[in-house]
Amino acid sequence: MQAVADSSAILAFLFDEPGGSLVKQYAGRLFVSSVNLAEVASKFSEQGFSESAAEEAIAVLALEVVAFDTVQALACGKLRAATMSAGLSIGDRACIVLGIIKGLPVLTADRVWAKIETGAKIEFIR
């Protein structure tokens, strides 16, 4: 089974946090929005890791990166009203939109997503 990974799910795997083992089970079958990949790279930078260390760590999951395009951008904008009360970021919405477009479940550690209805199938990793 394939899935779309939120940055929180990828980071749980990379930093050996709870739920990371579930993410590992999807290795080689995960899509990630380029927006979420930027979030992961930013977190690595904040933690003092080099760019090459981030690339190597991300390669372990064999992520298929999907470029953020006009269709996704417009869909993210459309989701804003439905997700505003839960405080979802553009990265969160980019991930959800990719899941909807691909027709795949979305892996996340962000439990606040349970409070909203987006039309995506959400799988919480913890």
| pLDDT tens track for 75-95 | 999 999 999 999 999 999 999
| pLDDT tens track for 11-64 | 999 999 999 999 999 999 999 999 999 999 999 999 998 888 778 878 999 999
Cross-strand partners of 122? 106
Asked whether the beta carbons of 6 and 23 are under 8 A apart, the reply is: no
pLDDT at 9: 98
The CA–CA distances, whole Å, from 74 to 15, 56, 93, 122 equal: 32, 32, 11, 21
Give residue 120's pLDDT band: very low, low, confident or very high (50, 70, 90): very high
pLDDT at 5: 98
Distance between CA 20 and CA 35 in Å, rounded? 20
